[in-house]
Every structure is written in C-alpha cells, then in structure tokens.
Structure 1
Amino acid sequence: MTKPVAEQTDLSRRTLVTAGLGLAAASSIAAAPGRATAARKTLPNGFWWGTATAAHQIEGNNTNSDFWLAENVKPTLFQEPSLDACDSYHRYGEDIALAAKLGFNAHRFGIEWARIEPEPGKFSAAALDHYQRVMEACHAKGLAPVITFSHWTVPRWFAAMGGFEHPDSPALFARFAERATAKLGPLMAAASTFNEANIARLIQARPESKLIGPAVRAMLAACAKASGSDRFASVLFADLAKSEANQVAAHEQAFQAIKAGPGNFPVGVTISMQDVQGVGEGHRATEIEDQIYGPWIAQAAKADFVGVQTYTRIRVDANGIMPTPKGAELTAAGYEFYPEALGATIRYAARKTGRPIYVTENGIGTDDDTRRIAYIDRAVASMRACIDDGIDVRGYLHWSLLDNYEWVFGYKQRFGLVAVDLKTFKRTPKPSALHLGAMARSSRRLGK
C-alpha cells in the first residue's frame, strides 16, 4: 500500500476537492462473494465503457485560450506551462485507435472554444473541420463521441471582457454552441455544456481557498494587463456573485441551441460530486452540499442526463469540512484514497435529479499503477451495486486516457491509463489500461 503523502494545497481539477486480460478482470470487481455474476447480468445494453480527456490538457499550444495566458504571465499559480501537452491535436488518430484497441466503446473529449472562435464573431472553419475529423475517427473505431463544449477554458478575448461576469456572456456562449452544433451535431453521441459547472463553488468551499485568494487575484490582474483590459475572469476562480447567474443562463441557452440540432443526442451538464459524509451530532453535511452544488443540481434535473464526476469523499462535522482522517491512504494528488465515493454520489445524483447518469469522470492521481487498479475495481464495484439496485447508470468514463497537463500542477500528477513521453510523445499503456479494457470487453462479450 502506498504510504500517505503530505497533504497539498488543492488546486487542480481533482486536487481541488480534495492486469491482465480476460474474464478474471470482470469478476474481480465484485463487492462481495457471489456478487460478480449478479452484477454482470445487470449492466444495461449499450453501456459505455471509456475514458475522458480535456482539450487544453492534451492538445497542446492552445494559444488563444485564457489558461495559456495565465500559465505564462508573472505572477502565476501554474508550476509550468502546457506548451505541447500530449500533442493530441495532431495525434488524435493514434489516441482514438489506442482507446479502441484497449476495448472501449466511448470517448469523452472537448471541442476548444478558443480554437473555434479565436476572435469574437470570427469562427475558424479549419478548427471545426478538425473536430469533425476527430469525431469521424471515433466513429470509424467504434467509439461514441461524448463532447464537452467548455472544459473550463474560454477564449482569451472572452476572459478579457469579463467572462461570465459580462451580461452578454450567455448569448455569446450560446452562439458558439449553435455554430459548433451546426457543423458537428450529426456526429455527436452525447454532449455537456460545461465541465464541472460547480467548480468555483467547490474551490471556495475548501478552507485553503482563503490562502490562495491573493495569488489568484495577482495572477488575474497580470492577465488583464497583458490583455490590455481592466478585467480578466476565469471559470476556475470565478466571482460567483458576479458570474454564476450568467453561467446558469449560458447553460440554459446553450442547451436549447444544442438540442435544436442538427443531430439527435442527449445533452446534460457534468458536476463535480464528492461523497459528503456527515460525522457526529449537528453535522453540516447538507449545508456543505448546498454550498458546493448551488443551482447546478436543479439544472441537471432539467437536462437529459447528469454527468457524475467523483474522486473522493468530504467528511463534515458541526464545524464544517474536516481534515483527512489520520493515517488514511492519500493519492499523489493529496486527497484521500476512497473509491467507494463513486457509488455514494451516483445514489445522491439519482435521488436529487431523477435523471439518467453517466460517470463522466472517475480516477486517481498516482505513480503506483497497482493502486490505480485497486481504485478502479472498488469504484466500479460501487457503481455496479447502484445498477443492481435499479439506478439508471449508462456509462463509465475513466479519467483519464493519458497522463496529461494537470492545470496548476503541470505534468507532476499522473491520472492516465496511458503514460506519455513528453519529448517523443510515445504512448505506453499501463497495466491499469489493460485491466479496465478487459472489463469493457468482457461486459460486451457477455452481452450484458
């Protein structure tokens, strides 16, 4: 077992919250003796097994985005710039072929707004053609393209006008969604407007947010100056009082624009959901849930599905969020190793929204791939138990296919099933990739 590492300030997407092939892999996910056979029988037909990625984290050279600027100004919170990332903008065919070879049938990825609309009202036909080729490659390899319209990054010009603090922001985001759907909609299998729409709420709920507040403001001021603007707003570090109502309106307007087609596919929103556990008398778990989810649970309840994105748990007593239990195993990203959180958040999402559920992210930052395999087994077992109990779960998309750019932590944290050499860009599947792929193949072979 990996020894606990010192807790770190939670700043990345996942740290903010905190192998063989064959039938043996499928049976290893059983939560208890006798459960494996029952669990295999309950997976719905057409269940999606796959991986999730984000455009900025894998494509490289996303030079027109707000994050590219934030990575390169001084002062900055980012430990290193993204630069070429995994060069997936050019190597997407290799990545898609690898995912299919591993045994997956779905692939979640982002279409980068900053590439598609690099200047306000100026849409790039070449960028739209590129994402059309990516989706066509997915279909050619038997992967359902699951699209994210905005995975935190926005065009630099949009951030410099105030981002979602600007009153025109809902219409501008909906315009992008409409234009992208007009070109790409017929190829989409599912889509979400925003990735982890509640991320700013989650960050601000954490006690360490007060520590990083001055550094965030200094970085954003540097971005504003570099943009020749008096403001610069980030989705990740949003001022909720100024931006959240506009972002909700942007989701609603974009949802309608995407649903108008072309294409006929489910549209939802993904939410960062942690297993919020109340501890002791007078605990404030419900208060913390309301704080970190805000209006987004209600929005998910009106969508076609909710994307559950879970990594760990949050324990809450009468004083608020508690420290990680002493002696608990921690991931390399500094949060508690707690795979069973996934089952708990699936149950929460089902109870609160009544909508079909896709697990659109679940995974672990670690350099010990045996712990990744253990995490996968236990998390998937908790998901299958939910399905056994009649909850409508339609897919499991693991974060992530590749070791990639982990936002403020750069390339130091590895969540991928596949290692990437950042100099040669060689992809090397880890045992965990074969392990999860075996589950996917076995599930489909059994026809369950």
Structure 2
Amino acid sequence: MSEPLIFPDRFLWGAATAAHQVEGNNTTSDWWEWETDPAPKAPLAEPSGIACDHFNRYKDDIALLAKLGLNTYRFSVEWARIEPRQGEFDHEALLHYVDMVDTCLKHGVTPVITLQHFTLPAWVTRAGAWTNPGLPAWFARYTRHVMEHLQDRAPYICTINEPGNMITRGYLGTFPTPPFVRNLDAFDAAAAGVNAAHRNAREVIRELAPGVKVGMAHALQDWHANSGGTPALRWARELHEDRFFAETAEDDFVGVQTYTRLDVNAPRILRHVSAALLRSRRLTQALVLPHLHRQAAAAVPVEGAPDDGIRRTQMGYRWAPEAIEATIRRVAHLFSGKEIVITEHGVATDDDADRVEYLRAGDGYRPTYGLVAVDRTTQDRAVKPSAHWYGDVARTNQMPV
C-alpha cells in the first residue's frame, strides 16, 4: 500500500490574491482607466468594480483562510493606492496594508507580500510606464515607503509579479493590457526597466529589512517543441522567462507560477526559415508580432474550448497539472540550492472535484479559480469542498494516498 507524501516541518501552505482582482474600487490605477474607458483599447469581460470587497473584508477573509488550516497568505500592496499622484503618499493606505500583515500574524499566517501585481498608478502609465527611465527610481521610492511601515513583519517580498507575462502582454500584444504597445524596441526598454526596478527594490529591502527574503514571482511555462518549432520556443522563452532570470542570481528565492504546458510545433522544413526570421528584428516586428496579436484575438473563450480532444480549463489552457513539476525542476537546475516558492498554482474550473484532482496531481471573474466562492452581488463567501481538502493537507502536512 502506498504511503502518504509527508512534507517538511514548517512547510508553507497558502493561497494568493492580487489587489486589483479582489480589493475593489482601485480607481487610481491604469487598469481602472482601461476598464472604465468608454472605448477601451482592448476588450474585457467585465470591470472589476467592487470586486470581492477584500479591501474592507480582509480581516474576515484572513480569519477564514486560517480556519481552513492554511498558514500562508500571499497578497499584493497596491502602488496606485499608496501613491495615487506622483510624490503624494497616502498614509492611511500604508497603515491599511500594515494591518493586513498584522492580521495575518495574529492568526498564525505567514504574510508574503507582492509590491507590484500587473497594475500601476495611472500617472506612471501616462508617463511611459516601464519605458520611462525614471521608473526604477520611482519604484525604489515607493518600496522605501512600504518597507518603512512593514519593516520585517513579512518574511518574503516579491518585488514584481510575472514580469514576462506583464511585459509581453503590454508591449508585444500577446494578450493586450496596459499600456497597449506592440513594439520590440519598447519591449526591450520595458524589460530593462522592470529588471532595474527589481534591483532597486531589492537594495532598499535589504537596507531596511536585511532578514527579509526578496525575489520575483515568475510566470513559467512547461515548454515543448518539435524540431521545426525549436527556434520559436527559444525565442519565446528568452523574451518571457530568461530575460528576467538574468536578475534572479542575486535573489533569495525564486517564485514559480505555472498553469499549463505549451507546445510549439512546426514542420521540420521551416526550422531554418523561422530561425532566420526571428534573427531579424525588422521581420519579427513586421510579421511575428501581428501574428501573436491575431492569435490573442482568436484565443479560446472562457465559456468553452475547441472540440480537439484535448482536456482544457476554463481559460482554454491545456489541462497539465504535471507542468508545475517540470518548471520547478528547471528552476532547481538553473539555480542550484536557491529556495523555490510556488507563489501561484491552480486551475480555472466550475467543477470543484476537478480542482482537487488538479491540486493532487501536480482570469475576469468568469474563470473560477479559487478555494472560496464569492457572490459579487451579496459579497457572501462560500467555502468550496476543495478548500476543506486543501486545508486538511495543510493541517496534517501530508498528501493523502
């Protein structure tokens, strides 16, 4: 008979949120401007609005998380709330996030903080966002205000969430989000800005709270390619992952976030053609980026998936719970001995039994991620069976057979 999988003592079992997705009324952010624009630059399923009203209900939500048996909560502080206008810092907003951290500690929950989770203050995006040479200094200044208030209360700080996803979407148009640019030169400038902002924030955190661990939370894919698709895979991985791994060697941990497997296949005869195409910035700009944009526009809707015989999630992703193992092993190989934190993982499904299956094996509000359902009309919380299952795993520190 198989033995249960037992985890090390003090293993961190948690759940994660992003401020803009759950807090509600993030009115000074660039995403709020996108959502409320009468003629938005890209379609969206629905505005965030009051969202889950977590900004006001966080004490009950954190208490519920602890009651379930989880011992860690990763959440983001919202730069747009803390510095709604350039150089103007909201003291009450800073104290709000301090109280969120203290509420976690009161319930025996380890707080893991993310400083930037996709959204930026609207004034930052109007000023050029990540391409503005001043942004790394602005981000360091913001980080200093946050850390002066938090001090060493939170043992882990993620400076930036999913830099690869954020920049390829915002500057290559793979899934258009602010600032809605599609240009390789702008992408390079933005990626450099993200890396510089991360370095600056890391220095500030180590100055003010030297015992706190610092890293980025990386969106990683379990990439697969045949011979013809290998050049495209290498190009995509360099843009989406490796460019930001360049900053990881000096970090204290690597955050890993994986949801699916991606296959990059093409006829073998096209291998040399695609390699030559991707070596030319002019041709890549003229031919590849429009192709990526067309692919995004034709993405599988969350209401259904193509009848292609492949099991998929509500997001249209290939069902691949084993993908997280592949990406963790890659990170462990690249950064031998460095601490690895799975900062996000899960599945979008309306069948909660699927969620347990997915967790055991390895976006808008319509794709239903999450362990607790929220009625956005009444704001009532409903604990799903998967939350109880996951809480039992956390409480016993072992995976049942």
Q: Does 1:309 align with 2:257?
A: yes
Residues 399-429 of structure 1: CA distance to partner in whole angstroms, max 9, x if unpaired?
xxxxxxx3xxx32111011000111111101
Which of 428, 438, 443 is the equivalent residue of 2:392?
A: 438
Provide, for residues 265-300 of structure 1, a one-character-per-residue CA deviation record: whole Å limited to 9, x for no partner. Answer: 111001100101233577344443223214211212
Q: For the residues of structure 2 that align with 1:205 and 1:149, how far apart are their CA atoms? A: 21
Deviations 1:155-210 (A, max 9, x none): 1111111111111010000110011101112211211110001114554899x83x
Q: Which runs of 5+ in 1 are unaligned?
A: 1-32, 221-231, 380-405
Cα distance change of structure 1 residues 277 and 201 upon mapping to structure 2, 3 Å threshold: farther
What is residue 168 of structure 1 aligned with on the other side?
Answer: 134
Letter paired with 1:141: H
Deviation at residue 375 of structure 1 after TM alignment: 0.3
Q: CA deviation digits over 1:245-273, x for unaligned, max 9? A: 11111110111111112362111001100
Q: Is the 8 A contact 1:419 1:428 kept in 2?
A: yes
Q: Which sits farther off after the overlay, 144-153 or 344-353?
A: 344-353
Task: Indicate the SS of the match to 2:113.
Answer: strand
TM-score (norm 1): 0.75
Residue 251 (structure 1) aligned with residue 198 (structure 2): yes
CA contact (8 A) 1:369 1:432 kept: yes
- Find the residue that maps to 1:295 and give its secondary structure: helix
Quick one: which amino acid aligns to residue 61 of structure 1? N
Q: How does 1:198-213 map to 2 (within 5 A)?
A: 198-200=164-166, 202-203=168-169, 209=174
Matching of residue 275 in structure 1 with residue 229 in structure 2? no
Unpaired runs of at least 5, structure 2: 268-273, 275-291, 300-305
Residue 45 (structure 1) shift: 2.2
- Residue 309 (structure 2) aligned to one of 319, 327, 334: 327
Task: Please give the residue correspondences for 1:2-401 in structure 2 after superposition, counting only pairs within 5 Å.
Answer: 34=2, 36-37=3-4, 39-40=5-6, 43-76=7-40, 77-200=43-166, 202-203=168-169, 209=174, 239-262=186-209, 264-280=211-227, 283-284=230-231, 285-318=233-266, 326-354=308-336, 355-379=338-362
Partner of 2:370: 416
Tell me, yes or no, if the aligned pair for 1:159 and 1:233 is still in contact at 8 Å: no
CA contact (8 A) 1:277 1:314 kept: yes
Q: How far apart are the structure 1 equivalents of 2:264 and 2:389? A: 34
Aligned match of 1:402: none
- Partner SS, residue 198 of structure 1: helix
Q: Which has the higher contact order (CA 8 A, sep 6+)?
A: 1
Aligned residues of 2:147 and 2:208 also touching (Cα < 8 A): yes
Matched residue SS, 2:255: strand
Give the letter for the 1:428 counterpart: A
% identical aligned pairs: 38
CA distance in 1, matches of 2:333, 2:114: 24
1:193-251: CA deviations, max 9, x gaps?
10001114554899x83xx66xx6xxx6xxxxxxxxxxx5789x994133111111111
The verdict on how the C-alpha distance between 1:187 and 1:444 changes in structure 2, with shifts beyond 3 A counting, is: farther
Contact 1:108–1:148 (CA<8 Å) still a contact in 2? yes
Consecutive aligned runs of 4 or more in structure 1 exceeding 6 Å deviation:
320-325
**What are the Cα deviations for residues 100-152 of structure 1, in whole angstroms up to 9, with x where unaligned?**
01100000000000111111111111001111111100000010000000001
In the aligned structure 2, how far is the partner of 1:238 from the partner of 1:95?
43
1:160/1:233 contact within 8 Å kept: no
What does residue 29 of structure 1 align with?
none
Change (3 A) 1:315 1:246: same
**Paired letter, 1:176:** Y
**SS of match in other structure, 1:187:** coil
Partner-residue secondary structure (3-state), 2:382: strand
- One-letter amino acid of the structure 1 residue matched with residue 246 of structure 2: A
SS at structure 1 position matched to 2:246: helix
Aligned length in residues: 361
- Secondary structure (helix, strand or coil) at the match of 1:432 reads helix
Distance 1:184 1:429 in 2: 30
CA contact (8 A) 2:374 2:381 kept: yes
Which whole-Å CA distance do the structure 2 matches of 1:262 and 1:155 have between them? 25
Cα distance in 2 for residues equivalent to 1:260 and 1:437: 36
After TM superposition, the structure 1 stretch with the greater mean CA deviation from structure 2, 308-317 or 280-289, is 280-289
Give the SS at the match of 2:247: helix
